[in-house]
Homo-oligomer: A and B are copies of this chain.
Amino acid sequence: MKLQLPPGISAPAFERAMAAFRRVVGDEWVLDSDADRHTYSDPYAPGPEDEWAPAAAVAPASTEEVQAIVRLANEHRIPLWPVSRGKNLGYGGAAPRLPGSVVVDLGRMNRILEVDEQLGYCVIEPGVSFYDLQAYLDDNKIKLWQSVPGNGWGSVVGNALDRGFGYTPYGDHTANICGMEVVLPDGDLIRTGMGAIEGSRSWHVHKYGYGPAWDQLFVQSSYGIVTRVGMWMMPAPESSLLLAMNPPKGEDIGWLVETISQLRLRGVIDQSPFLPCSFGKLSLIAQRADLHDGPGPVPEEKLAEFYEKEKLGFWIVGLRLYGDESVTRARAELIKKAFARHTDMPFHEIPWTAGDPRPIYDPSLAVPTAMPLQMSNWAGGRGGHLSFSPVLPATSKDVLPQFHRSRERYREFGFEYYGSFTVSGRTATNINMIMYNRDDADEVRRARALFDVLTEDAHKAGYGEYRAHLGWMDKVADTFDFNNHALRRLGEKVKDALDPNGILAPGKQGIWPSTYRSHRHG
């Protein structure tokens, strides 16, 4: 990928900045060849890869090097785009929002600094992947479970910082964050919460500290580079029980969400069950061309044939209980009773006991996997996907119209519907996957148009997204419109106070520093 310079920076000025970075990290860790730029571009880019073009990458090995880079970026006015491991697939990968930014790749900072088995937490740097952490737990026979997302080679820290989720009772990853070390845009270094005490013993056990609590201000944020995080972990359970069922009809999602939400609020279920439609399974084990060789999406009849053959319904339901068998058995009976009010389908019950293998195809048993990435191959060619993810109240009144409306939009734009609902006590997060062939310009165009219209539809209904791909960061921010975007106004006031030169992640989640504000929607 050809060099695209940061706005207003000349080629010689850029070279001087890269030379300064080299003096900090060494020659080999400033990555500014055409091949390097390609490496740090969005592997799923829905459009030309240079739409969100990195100018280079720099890979520091320590917090001190991060501080030095930030100070130099201020001096040379170079916009930075920090990534933990750069595997934010579906949301832009390692690529920056502002073309010409320099990616700060924290992948070399991959130390596991502490694991406290008794109190259930680890302290890690951003470069630690789910696979790395699992290897450490296994090697040291530590009886803690991590909660894993769909991509095990992603960063544990990075995933939590973008509010990713997993499938265990610790599945709300950002809620597991307890205590950070952060390099601020002026190079100053803070520790949050109780960590603000030199020699603190409670940094990673208590979330709030004294006065305002800052952790969530550095999440989906451009206010600092997070260099260390305490993450709460779950004690390995003695046993587990999976209750599985495949409800047949699309409409079932209404009572499913309400029933699970109520069980969750009553403490009968501890995890936030993930309910994909059956297409989710198909997309992992097949490609469109296996079922259909015409243009457009696989016809409904052919999908129905596959689901029948695989004994699938419309939705795939798996509720997993964790803990002592006496408690999980009692809870299972309560779940069966609640479901029996809506269906006469029995649950398939699959017990698990400590010591049994934990298969990678079931992330609710907390083993890192990369299997879900398979879905990117669905459409053929160089595959990619986008996730459209509004958060709804967990009621059928909210979920059913959202389901029908989105499914209709998928048909309208020529895609197979792939919606899922992750049900917590009070919310149903509705992840809609759009898979496309990057080499099919028409399909990419339709994918983008579908994303736009889904965003507008959800906004009209009163729902907002929890996360967005680079290409929609501003559009989604626009939907947060109360009092003429007052919250964004606050966000940008704080941005300008902390980062007057606007060097850190300009445009992240729609927050622009004054220096680059004209690039909004650009």
- Determine whether the beta carbon of B267 is less than 8 Å from that of A323: yes
- Determine whether the beta carbon of A468 is less than 8 Å from that of B326: no
Q: Which residue of B lies closest to A191 (CB)?
A: B482
A280 interface hit (Cβ, 8 Å): no
Most chain B beta carbons < 10 A, residue from A121, A208, A235, A468: A208
Which chain B residues lie closer than 8 Å to A508 at the CB level?
211
A219 interface hit (Cβ, 8 Å): yes
Q: Which one of A6-14, A354-362, A487-495 is at the interface?
A: A487-495
A453 interface hit (Cβ, 8 Å): no
Q: Which one of A106-114, A380-388, A390-398, A434-442 is at the interface?
A: A390-398
Which chain B residues lie closer than 8 Å to A202 at the CB level?
391-393, 427, 462-464
Which chain B residues lie closer than 8 Å to A163 at the CB level?
208
- Determine whether the beta carbon of A392 is less than 8 Å from that of B201: yes
- Determine whether the beta carbon of B487 is less than 8 Å from that of A498: no
Q: Which residue of B lies closest to A182 (CB)?
A: B490
Given A323-B267, A326-B330, decide whether A483 and B213 contact each other with a Cβ distance below 8 A: no
- Determine whether the beta carbon of B509 is less than 8 Å from that of A211: yes
Complex Cα–Cα for A341 and B455 (A): 56
- Determine whether the beta carbon of A206 is less than 8 Å from that of B426: yes
A305 interface hit (Cβ, 8 Å): no
A408 interface hit (Cβ, 8 Å): no
- Determine whether the beta carbon of B323 is less than 8 Å from that of A268: yes
Given A199-B462, A494-B498, decide whether A426 and B120 contact each other with a Cβ distance below 8 A: yes
Which chain B residues lie closer than 8 Å to A488 at the CB level?
196
| In the complex, per-residue mask of A24-61: 1 if CB is within 8 Å of any chain B CB, else 0 | 00000000000000000000000000000000000000
CB of A333, distance to nearest CB on chain B (Å) = 7
Which chain B residues lie closer than 8 Å to A217 at the CB level?
212-214, 217
Which chain B residues lie closer than 8 Å to A493 at the CB level?
497-498
Report how many residues on chain A are interfacial, defined by Cβ distance under 8 Å.
102
Partner of A459, one of B189, B197, B211, B216: B197
Within 8 A of B (CB), among A493-507: 493-494, 496-498
A334 interface hit (Cβ, 8 Å): yes
Most chain B beta carbons < 10 A, residue from A178, A393, A476: A393
Q: Which residue of B lies closest to A328 (CB)?
A: B330
Partner of A189, one of B331, B481, B483: B483
Which chain B residues lie closer than 8 Å to A184 at the CB level?
490
CB of A136, distance to nearest CB on chain B (Å) = 20
| In the complex, per-residue mask of A312-330: 1 if CB is within 8 Å of any chain B CB, else 0 | 0000000000111011011
Partner of A213, one of B119, B216, B258, B330: B216
A425 interface hit (Cβ, 8 Å): yes
Q: Which residue of B lies closest to A190 (CB)?
A: B486
Given A323-B267, A334-B327, A463-B201, decide whether A480 and B209 contact each other with a Cβ distance below 8 A: yes
Complex Cα–Cα for A201 and B426 (A): 12
In the complex, besides A324-B334, A330-B330, 20 extra interface pairs with C-beta distance below 8 angstroms are A119-B265, A119-B393, A190-B486, A191-B487, A197-B464, A198-B481, A200-B464, A206-B466, A209-B487, A210-B510, A211-B221, A211-B509, A212-B219, A212-B223, A213-B217, A215-B216, A266-B323, A266-B324, A268-B327, A493-B498
Closest 3 CB pairs of A and B: A497-B497, A211-B509, A201-B462
